[in-house]
Amino acid sequence: MARNKHPEETVNRILDVALKLFYEKGYDNTSIQDIIDGLGGLTKGAVYHHFKSKEDILSAALDRENAGLYQEMARIRDDGRMNGAQKLQALFEASVSGPQMEMWADIAPDVDPVKNSRLLGLQYQSIFEEAVPLFVLPIVEEGVRDGSICTDHPKEFSEVIVLVANLWASPMFRSCTAEELRTRVDFYLDMVKALGLSLEENGLGEVLEAYRRRFHARFKEVRNVDAAKG
């Protein structure tokens, strides 16, 4: 069997085709076979050599789109001009304005955490293996040292504020009305303040509400197309 001398090109080709289909048909209405058919000759075995599932393809696509955000988060973490609390605030602002929210809205995966449980699991995994240890925890530990963040449990503090922000305050895995979303955001900010850190809102509510409107409009559009085909 010939060895693939350009695996990165193959991976990017798979991601390009998959994203095009996700945007056109919606994530839930796109199958692995659809992706294979769109690759023009690449075999199912070649696709599964790089990705175990459709969820893994989406996760890799999100990582690729977020590459610039990760660079900005690293820059914030390593910036010697800010204390820990200021860095966490800057990290917070960079994260909510990153490409993931817009991309998630456009591909419109079902918000049911049971239906898309693997996506939820991958998001959960990335929090504990990437977001917290690489970016949030080092900043919180610095804040504890410089006195700008008050907690005796920096690891737990870091995990909680990221988990709640990504899996509860955000409407990515739990549908909500505009008022419910506003209440979540208000509570989240109060909770973080009670934990020892004061975060200004900095447009978080507006960012999440814009996402919520866009997601539900796109979700409805995808479902209407699916119903018409049926």
36 shares a domain with 105: no
| C-alpha neighbours within 13 Å on the C-beta side of residue 44 | 5
Which tens digit of pLDDT belongs to each residue from 78-110? 999 999 988 998 888 888 777 887 788 788 888
Q: Which residue has the higher pLDDT, 163 or 211?
A: 163
Contact 17, 214 (CB under 8 A): no
Q: How confident is the model at residue 33 (pLDDT cuts 50, 70, 90)?
A: very high
* Mean pLDDT over each residue of the chain, to the nearest integer: 83
Work out how many domains the chain is built from and give that number: 2
149 shares a domain with 96: yes
CATH at residue 148: 1.10.357
188 shares a domain with 81: yes
Which tens digit of pLDDT belongs to each residue from 120-144? 898 899 999 999 999 999 999 999 9
Which residue range forms the structural domain that includes residue 11?
Answer: 7-59
Q: Is 175 contained in some domain?
A: yes
193 shares a domain with 93: yes
Which tens digit of pLDDT belongs to each residue from 109-123? 888 888 888 888 988
Q: Work out the number of other CB atoms within 10 angstroms of the CB of residue 194.
A: 9
Which tens digit of pLDDT belongs to each residue from 179-205? 887 888 888 888 888 877 776 655 555
**pTM of the entire structure?**
0.80
Q: Is 1 contained in some domain?
A: no
Q: How confident is the model at residue 173 (pLDDT cuts 50, 70, 90)?
A: confident
Which tens digit of pLDDT belongs to each residue from 1-17? 344 556 889 999 999 99
- Amino acid identity, position 21: L
* DSSP per-residue string spanning 143-206: HHHHTSS--S-HHHHHHHHHHHIIIIISTTSS---HHHHHHHHHHHHHHHHHTT-----TTHHH
